[in-house]
Every structure is written in structure tokens, then in C-alpha cells.
Amino acid sequence: MKLDARVPAGPIAEKWDRHKFDMKLVNPANKRKYTVIVVGTGLAGASAAASLGELGYNVLNFCIQDSPRRAHSIAAQGGINAAKNYQNDGDSVYRLFYDTVKGGDYRSREANVYRLAQLSVNIIDQCVAQGVPFAREYGGLLDNRSFGGAQVSRTFYARGQTGQQLLIGAYQSLMRQAHAKAVKLFARREMLDLVVVDGKARGIIVRNLVTGELERYVGDAVILATGGYGTVYYLSTNAINSNVTASWRAHKRGAFFANPCFTQIHPTCIPVSGDHQSKLTLMSERLRNDGRVWVPKTKGDKRSPELIPEEERDYYLERKYPSFGNLVPRDVASRNAKQAADEGRGVGESGLAVYLDFKDAITRLGPEVIKEKYGNLFQMYNKITDEDPYKVPMRIYPAIHYTMGGLWVDYNLMSTVPGLHVLGEANFSDHGANRLGASALMQGLADGYFVIPYTIGDYLANNPVPKITTDHDAFKEAAQNAQNQINKLLTVKGNRGIRDIHRELGRIMWDDVGMARTDASLKRALQAIPKLREEFWHNVSVPGSADNLNQSLEYAGRVADYLEFAELLTRDALDRKESAGGHFREESQTPDGEAMRDDDNYSYVAAWEFKGVGATPELHKEPLEFHEVHPSQRSYK
Amino acid sequence: MRLNLKIWRQAGPTAPGRLEDYTADSVSPDMSFLEMLDVVNEGLIVKGKDAIAFDSDCREGICGTCSLVIDGVAHGPDRGTTVCQLHMRRFKDGETVTIEPWRAKAFPVVKDLVVDRSAFDRIIAAGGFVSINAGGAQDANNILIPKDVCDAAMDSAACIGCGACVAACKNASAHLFMSAKISHLSLLPQGQQERYTRVTAMIDQADSEGFGSCSNEGECEAVCPKEIPISNIARMTREYVMARLSK
Ligand SMILES: Cc1cc2nc3c(=O)[nH]c(=O)nc-3n(C[C@H](O)[C@H](O)[C@H](O)COP(=O)(O)OP(=O)(O)OC[C@H]3O[C@@H](n4cnc5c(N)ncnc54)[C@H](O)[C@@H]3O)c2cc1C
Ligand code: FES
């Protein structure tokens, strides 16, 4: 099968406009005859479901949580980018496009990224109209800040709760459509299989998490907006119900998985405190605007921080990257922290932390200003660690945060299964090998509010499908497939906890497929993962039954999928012998230790085709061409 | 640390429930309350026993999923803190702790400590929005909003919809939840067009869901993890009276 990204012809700035004109439209009176299934109610799913409802489609919308408003997007803190150039500081659609392609280390598709930058401005208009209370200046205009090392101030924010406010905006629009009966909502449902009929995505099998029943839903197209797979590492900043299940089961039905090894590690998280830890808490990277990162110069220096004199401290980011200092991109900051810890210079009890020190900023600006800027973050840190960052430096360490990889999609956001569209973090499309801060919210909303409402119409108009019911054999087979997995999980009756196995998987992934990967470590992981999978299927304990709310069963299903998916992620990492963005192969670095791409051999999207559990998947390559932004070695010196 | 736990177990919505005794051993002060329950559950799971069902997701105080009543207090002893952000250093070795679900007619128990809060979604669906379709918006900076007005709207918009206010109220009233949304939207210019239909529709919906009325007890404000003030309720009442008068 040849991958066709279906990128429209023409100059980059005109592609989307031309495409919008070229796409077929669905007659307004016919829209309600089409049923579109949307899985997920995060920024991508809620905005898509609401917008399709507004257009008149009949929408069925599913989520795992008890309410669509609780999707993981709610936790995003920092902000959302848009090329509004309200600050008159030189921003433009082209600059946002350029920064995103470069920030992604030249592993994304130019045409998609350009469209994202174009649509960014509409997102802000839409959200403000919904009543999203973005921060304002005294004159009443919208405020912006510079985020994640960007040279312009293009980030819009609502205190430290930007994701919450954007999601509530989308959720309110969604509930308005639910009230109008254009959208039917199904909360506490978990998608367990995709139903493909005559080669086209026609439905899903979900488990009703309250009654335990397997339910079947049929439609004319299916949209997945089910988020990222960061929790394959067990500990991450993601919500604990985040999973790869929907994507993975779609992958098994023919959707190619692209660039799974592109994972992002966030440098400023609160370090692990013990084995009981269930997730990691992110501290906004805004903190790096005023905090200085350091470790002791000498290995094993266990003195408390205030006893370590200035000259015995190593402000390593400022030392190595004089022009960017503490504001280097996430991957660079993370790798340097790991390096310090590997050298035995890490701080705190575990040695797996570095200091983020506000002493100088407090002296320069006064504690009041610091409180105004970071009060809620300092409070959160204090709550979790019982330490006061006004007095002692914070301890931070990198953690898995975001996954750039995802199901492969073309320019229309359609996967390799016709009719199956994928939005938000679940697709691979716009961030290449590294996502810039404040760009995930932008992508999720662009996909949902402004891309899919057009491209789904084109698909539906071009692909009339016969009427079928959920009695179709394909539905029976898929439901049986889901049922078999559930039965299997409940009959193992071993004596190992599900969490214990997930934790072990996380350790393998973090140690061997984490911030720095080598040929040897990846091969080690490829041995260990199938073994752990065996162990799971022989020795896991899943108590309870399938006919009611059973959180152990839900969790076990997700871990089972991770035990398969982890192998694909690792294989992709092994296959990509270059370093790029968040994927750092120790074999491929510049003399001063920076990630080194290999454009001659790896300037492609790796799209994997499923060939069976444990079997070698088939690699398909989508070559990447850069007509606008010319690949160069990233340098933050 | 070792704790004695009394935990509400209930097999399903119509099944009878009761408090059962558990012990939590080797509790570390750095654990969150939910991590302590994870450990208890892991102990049950390896013995093949049904784990205690409780809801959580973000575990950082923003999604509003977690919902436990600890020793009679919704979200437990720390002010302005969801139970997922409550840490075990708050408890003493040997202490006995009682854990129950939200209790309200409009929030029926699903299982153990898990309740059904979909009534909140229906209240928002009734009117908690601005009617704007994607694509129809003007340039964002055409709408000027003074900073203090926007900040006040944000204070109310910070509600996480957890339902602690309902659980704490002796009338099981949803007034704090509703008034936060009504304040958020009625303070902003974008919310003006539907100001009166919104407040009426939301209050009517809450009545039909079986939430009680407000008798100014203030318990809601005391347990709100986002410290949403009760002054929102006064604003909602004003809006409601205006809506009736404008009819
Ligand atoms: C702590 C944190 C802070 C962040 N801060 C920022 C920031 O400041 N700026 C930024 O741009 N990005 C940020 N991000 C990233 C950003 O929040 C996410 O990438 C984005 O919100 C993902 O949105 P989504 O709609 O794709 O998926 P999600 O919000 O993850 O939603 C997934 C949806 O799918 C549903 N679902 C999942 N699996 C299934 C299934 N099997 N069956 C049925 N339903 C299912 C879930 O119920 C949910 O409704 C942050 C991320 C984290 C973790
Ligand atoms: S789990 Fe999200 S607020 Fe507690």
C-alpha cells in the first residue's frame, strides 16, 4: 500500500483555501441523514462533535469519564499559541509555521503545519466568542506572553488553567448541541474495537463501564480523538485513565501507526517520591523564565542547597547555552538534567532531581512579584512536597508529557482506514519530532473546529455507503473479539497486581526507551517487553466480573494494549537510527552532545502496519519534502 | 504509618451499602490520599478480591473527577484542596478515617464511592453556554473587556464541577455550581444576549433533577476546592429576579 498524504497542489499559503473550494459539500438538508461517531471529548473531540452538530450532522459522542468536561485536556496549564500578532512584535502565520516546523526538528508535513498556523487565529476568535476568559490587559485587550522559548509573544492564556477554560468552552458548545439533540452523548463508555465493513470504518464497539454491557454503534464515518499514549511509561503527567486502547485497536484493524517513538519529555515536573507514585505533576515551564537551574559541581554533594556556595554550583544550562540559558527547548533541558543525574550530581534523596532556584528572582523582583506571577504553582509545589519554594529551591526532574506520534493521517485527517479520521494528540500530524509549548491545544481545536467540519463532508459526499445495522457480521465479529479479551482477562486469576505489571513496563520504557536511547538499550527492551506480556497473561489478577463497574478490568485492558504497543514504540525507536527532537539516539549526536539528525536517511514519516501480536510490523515511509523551511541543525548555543 | 479505614461499599445503585473495615499499612506521608487507596486496592486485587471503586483522573485538582467524603467532609480536611491533592502527612499514625461517597438524591451511587453526576451536564445543557457556532466569531480584540471584569469572570469560571458543594449542603442544593457558571457568563459581554433565559433554564433544570434550594448555610463555600465564594449565589438570585421581572 502506498501512502498518499493528499496534499493539495499550489503555493503553501493557498493550499487550504483551494482545497476548501475543491472539496465536495453535503447538501444542508442531507446532513442529518449522516451519522458521525466521535470518540473523545477533549479539545479535539468536543470541538469536532459540537461543530458537526452545529452543521446538522447526527453525532454520537463517547468518552470514558463520567462527564465530557473531564477529558484530560482540562489539565493543560500554560496557554495556546496563535499568530494574531496583537503585540506587533513581528509574528505572522508564516513565522508560527516556520517555528513549528523547525521546533519539530523537520519531521512534520509542511502543508499541515501551515494550515495549523493559519487556523490558529480563528481559534482565538471562536473561544473568546464562547466566553473563554483569556487574560486581559488594563485597556481591555487580550494579553499575551512568550512561551517555551518563542521569540515573540503569541501565547494566550487563562491564568494557569488555559486547558480548563478552553475545554469548558468547547464542552458548553457541545452541551448546547446535546440539548438541541444534534449530538447524543455517551459518557462512561470505552471503545474496545473499530468495526470495518467493506474496507470502511462504519462503527465501534464500546463497553458501557457502568453496566458492563458491550454496545454497538453504527455510523457513516468514525472520528477518533482519544488523546496520547504517554502512560505507556506508567509515570507521566497525563491523567491516569489516558490510554492507547482506542488507537491501538484501530491500528489492529488497519490504521497505520506513525512515528510512535516521538515522545516528549517535559523538564519541569515534581520528582518521584516513592513506589506508590501514581502520576507526576507538571510545573509550568513558565517557571524557567525566572528560575535558574543548577546542580552541585561535585558528584555526591549531599549538603542542603543553602549550604552550597555560589562557586560550587553549576548553572549548567546557562554555562552550555549562553544565548538561551534556562529557556532552551524541552528536550535539551530534559537531557541535560538526566546527564547531571547520571553523573551523580542529581539532588534530593533519590538523586533524580535538579534545582530550580528562584532566589535571584526574588531578590531582584521581590517576593510579591514572584507571588503574583507564580503563586498558584508555588502553592501546588508546596502541597505536594511540603517544601516552601520561596525559601528553598524547587526540585524538578523530567517526565513523559506528550506524544507526537499517533495514527497516521493524510491532509484531510483521515487514517489508512477509509472513513476513520483521527484528531488531536491521537494523530501524528503537526508536531514532527518535538512539539512546541502551547501548540497542542491549538492543534486539537484547529482539527475539531476548523478542519474536520470541511473534510468529513468531502468524505461523506464522495463515499456513499449502504445502510447497515449493528446485526451485520462485522459488528458481531468485533463484539465477540472484545468479549474474548474480557473473558481472557478475567480467567487468568494470577497473583500479580495490574499496577505492579504496569509499573514494571514503565520502568523498562523509561530506562531503555526514555530520554536517551541506544541500540543496546532498545534491543534489551525488545526482549523484556514480550516477556512481561507473557507474565501478564499468565499471572495477572483481575478480580470481579464483567457485568458492572469494574475498574480493575478497565485498567487491565489498557495495560494489555500497552504491553503490545510498547513493542511497536521500541521497534520504531530502534529503526530510526538518527536523533530527532524528542528521540535521542546516543549514537547520533554532534561533538558537543546535541541531537543530530540524518536527513539523507530518515527524512520520512515511519508508518507501521500491524501484522499480528509479536510479529514484525511492516514499515511504510512517507517521504518528507521541505519547500519552504530548509532543514538545518538546531542550535541553541 | 498505619491507618484504620471505614469505607462505604455498595455493589450497585439499588443494592444496600455499608461501611467496611480495612487497614492501610506502611502509608508514607508523601502519598496522596488516592495513592493510599491505590495501595489498599492493590492488596485486595492480588488476593482476588473486588477493588474499592472510586473516581479520579487528573490527580492534580483540575478535572473534578475525584469525589470522596472523608470523616464527614467533602474532599477532606484541607481547605481549597481536592481529595486527589490531599496528602497523607495530614493524618496521624493509628488514626481511623471514614470514607464515603457524595450523598445527594440527584447524585445516585453507581458503586462503592462512585456517583452519577450527569445531572450537572444537563444543567449546563439547559443554558450554560453562549450560542455561537464555529466560524461565526468576530476578531477577538473587537470585544474589549476590562481586566477586573475578566478577572472576576475567571474567578467564577474556575469551578471544576466536582459537586462537593452539593455533597456538603444539607439541602443538596446545586446553587454554588450553577451560580459560578451564571456569574462567569453574565459578567462578560458575550453572555449578555442570553442572560435571562440562561438563569431561568438552568434553575428550572436543577429543580427537575431533584437538587434542593439554598438556605444560606455556607457549607458549599467551605468545601469548594476552588474556593468559589457564596457571593456568586447572591448574583444568581439577582439575575433570576431580573429575569422574572423582564418577562
Ligand atoms: C499537565 C499537562 C499540561 C499541558 N499543558 C499544555 C499547554 O499549556 N499547552 C498546550 O498546548 N498543550 C498542553 N498540554 C498538552 C495538551 O493538553 C494535550 O495534548 C491535549 O489536551 C490533548 O487533547 P485531545 O483532545 O487530543 O485528547 P484528550 O484531552 O486526552 O481527550 C481524550 C478523550 O478521549 C476519550 N477516550 C480516550 N480513550 C478512549 C476510549 N478507549 N474510548 C472512549 N473514549 C476514550 C477520553 O475520555 C477523552 O474524552 C498539556 C498536557 C499535560 C499532560
Ligand atoms: S482527580 Fe482530577 S480533580 Fe481530583
CATH 1.10.1060.10 residue window(s) in chain B: 118-245
Please give the share of chain B, as a percent, with pLDDT higher than 70: 100
Mean predicted lDDT score pLDDT of chain A: 96
Q: What is the pLDDT at residue A328?
A: 85
Concatenated DSSP letters of A302-359: -S-GGGS-GGGEE-HHHHH-TTTGGGS-HHHHHHHHHHHHHTT---TTTS--EEEE-H
Show the beta-strand stretches assigned E in A484-594. none
pLDDT of A592 reads 75
d(C-alpha A425, C-alpha A604), whole Å? 20
Q: The C-alpha cell of B243 is what? A: 429575569
More confident residue, A349 or A400: A400
Q: Count CB-CB contacts under 10 A for residue A300.
A: 10
Ligand nearest to the CA of A71: 1
Q: Does the ipTM exceed 0.85?
A: yes
Looking at the fold, whether A495 and A576 belong to one and the same domain comes out as yes
Question: B128, exposed or middle or buried, with CB in 10 Å at 0-12, 13-18, 19+?
Answer: buried
A633 — pLDDT class (breaks 50, 70, 90): confident
* Neighbouring C-beta atoms of residue A15, cutoff 10 Å: 20
Q: Are both A377 and A500 inside the same structural domain?
A: no
A85: left (phi over 0), alpha (psi -120 to 50) or beta: left
Alpha carbons A296 and A290: distance in angstroms, whole number: 19
Strand partners, A636: none
Q: Which residue has the cell 521581590?
A: A366
B35 part of contact set with chain A, CB < 8 Å: yes
Residue A364 maps to which CATH number? 3.90.700.10
Q: What are phi and psi of B88, to 5 degrees?
A: -70, -15
- A529 is a domain residue: yes
Dihedral sign, CA of A305, A309, A312, A316? Answer: positive
Q: A591 falls in which pLDDT band (50, 70, 90)? A: confident
pLDDT value of residue B154: 97
* Same domain (yes/no): A480, A359: no
| Span B39-76, pLDDT tens digits | 999 999 999 999 999 999 999 999 999 999 999 999 99
Q: Which of A374, A400, A426 is the last residue of a domain?
A: A400
Exposure of B64 by Cβ count < 10 A (0-12 exposed, 13-18 middle, 19+ buried)? buried
With the most atoms of ligand 1 within 8 angstroms of its CB, the residue from A73, A134, A249, A403 to mutate is A73
> Is residue A203 within 8 Å of A39, Cβ to Cβ?
no
Looking at residue A146, its pLDDT comes to 86
pLDDT, residue A332, reads 86
Predicted confidence at residue A595, as pLDDT, reads 87
Indicate the average pLDDT of chain B. Answer: 97
User: Is residue A183 assigned to a domain?
Assistant: no
Residue A391 in any domain: the answer is yes
- The confidence score (pLDDT) of residue A588 equals 97
A554 has pLDDT over 80: yes
What cell does A206 get? 464500546
CB B200 within 8 Å of CB B243: yes
Q: Nearest-CA distance from B137 to chain A in Å?
A: 5
Homologous superfamily (CATH) of B118-245 is Alpha-helical ferredoxin (1.10.1060.10)
How many domains does one find in chain A? 2
pLDDT at A429: 87
pLDDT of residue B30: 93
Please name the helix (run of DSSP H) or strand (run of DSSP E) that holds residue A457, with its range, or none: helix A452-462
Chain A residue numbers touching B139 (CB-CB < 8 A): 125
pLDDT on residue A619: 98
Does A497 sit within 8 Å of B45, measured CB to CB? yes
- For residue A60, the SS3 value is strand
Cβ of B64 closer than 6 Å to ligand 2, yes or no, is yes
Q: Give pLDDT, residue A324.
A: 87
For the CA of B160, the nearest atom of ligand 2: 3
The model's pLDDT over A294-322, given as tens digits with 9 standing for 90+, comes to 999 999 999 999 999 999 999 999 999 99
The answer to whether residue A505 is domain-embedded is yes
What is the location of CATH 3.10.20.30 in chain B?
Answer: 3-111
Q: How confident is residue A593, by pLDDT bands cut at 50, 70 and 90?
A: confident
Q: Tell whether B201 is within 8 A of chain A (Cβ).
A: no
The amino acid that residue A245 corresponds to is T
The amino acid that residue A65 corresponds to is Q
CATH code, domain with A589: 1.20.58.100
pLDDT tens digits, one per residue of B12-42: 999 999 999 999 999 999 999 999 999 999 9
Is the model's pLDDT at A353 over the cut of 90? yes
Q: Across the interface, do B129 and A240 touch by the CB < 8 Å criterion?
A: no
8 Å CB contact of B150 and A544: no
Measured CA to CA, the distance from residue A296 to residue A309 in angstroms comes to 9
pLDDT score for A151: 86
Question: Does any domain span residue A287?
Answer: yes
Contact A397, A16 (CB under 8 A): no
From A68, A125, A137, residue closest to B139, measured CB to CB: A125
Count of pairs with CB atoms under 8 A, one residue in A, one in B: 230
Task: Please tell me if residue B21 touches chain A, with a CB cutoff of 8 Å.
Answer: no
Q: What is the mean pLDDT of residues A618-636?
A: 92
Query: What pLDDT score does A485 carry?
Result: 98
Residues of B in contact with A278 (CB under 8 A): 32, 34-35, 38, 59
- Tens of pLDDT, residues A320-344: 999 889 988 888 899 999 999 999 9
Q: Could you tell me which residues are beta bridge partners of residue A347? A: none
pLDDT computed for residue A636 by the predictor = 73
Q: Chain B: give the shortest CA distance to residue A576, in Å.
A: 33
Q: Is the CB of B82 under 6 A from ligand 2?
A: yes
Residue type, A197: V
Interval between CA A72 and ligand 1 midpoint (Å) = 4
Residues of B in contact with A539 (CB under 8 A): none
Q: Is A193 helix (H, G, I), strand (E, B) or coil?
A: strand
Shortest distance between the Cα of B121 and any Cα of chain A, in A, equals 7
Residues on chain A touching B125 (C-beta within 8 angstroms): 175-176, 178-179
Distance from CA of A67 to the nearest CA of B (A): 7
* Integer Cα distance of B140 and A134 in angstroms: 10
Distances, alpha carbon A461 to alpha carbons A20, A34, A117, A399, A423, in Å: 14, 10, 27, 44, 20
pLDDT tens for each residue of B99-115: 999 999 999 999 999 99
Q: What's the rounded Cα separation, in Å, for the pair A592 and B70? A: 54
Q: Which of B38, B59, B147 sits opposite A138 (nearest CB)?
A: B147
Cell of B125: 445543557
Could you tell me if A295 and A384 lie in one domain? yes
What pLDDT shows up at residue A543?
97
CA A557 to ligand 1 center in whole angstroms: 20
> Which of B126, B143, B147 is opposite residue A137, by nearest beta carbon?
B147
Query: What's residue A557's pLDDT?
Result: 98
> A412 C-alpha to center of ligand 1: Å?
21
What b/e readout covers A431-447, taking b as 16+ CB neighbours within 10 angstroms? Answer: bbbbbbbbbbbbbbbbb
d(CA A267, CA A335): 8
Residue pair A347/A353 in contact (Cβ under 8 Å)? The answer is yes
Pairing of strands B3-10, B96-100: parallel
The pLDDT confidence band at residue B83, using thresholds 50, 70 and 90, is very high
List the domain range (segments joined by +) for residue A588. 473-598
Looking at CATH, the fold of the domain delimited by B3-111 is given as: Ubiquitin-like (UB roll) (3.10.20)
**3-class secondary-structure state, position B187:** helix
Output the nine-digit C-alpha cell for B244. 422574572
Nearest CB partner across the interface for B63, out of A239, A274, A450: A239
Minimum distance, in Å, between the CA of residue B30 and any CA atom of chain A: 7
Atom number, ligand 2, closest to the C-alpha of residue A74: 2
Extract the C-alpha cell encoding B120. Answer: 450537572
Residue-wise pLDDT tens digits, A428-477: 989 999 999 899 999 999 999 999 999 999 999 999 999 999 999 999 99
What pLDDT, on a 0 to 100 scale, did the predictor assign at position B107? 98
Closest ligand to residue B159's CA: 2
Q: Is A634 a domain residue?
A: no
Strands (E), A137-269: 155-156, 183-186, 189-197, 200-208, 214-218, 221-224, 257-258, 263-269
Q: Which helix (H) or strand (E) holds B4?
A: strand B3-10
**Does the residue A119 lie in any domain?**
no
pLDDT digits (tens, 9 = 90+) for A180-226: 999 999 999 999 999 999 999 999 999 999 999 999 999 999 999 99
Tens of pLDDT, residue by residue over A173-186, are 999 999 999 999 99
β-bridge partners, A232: none
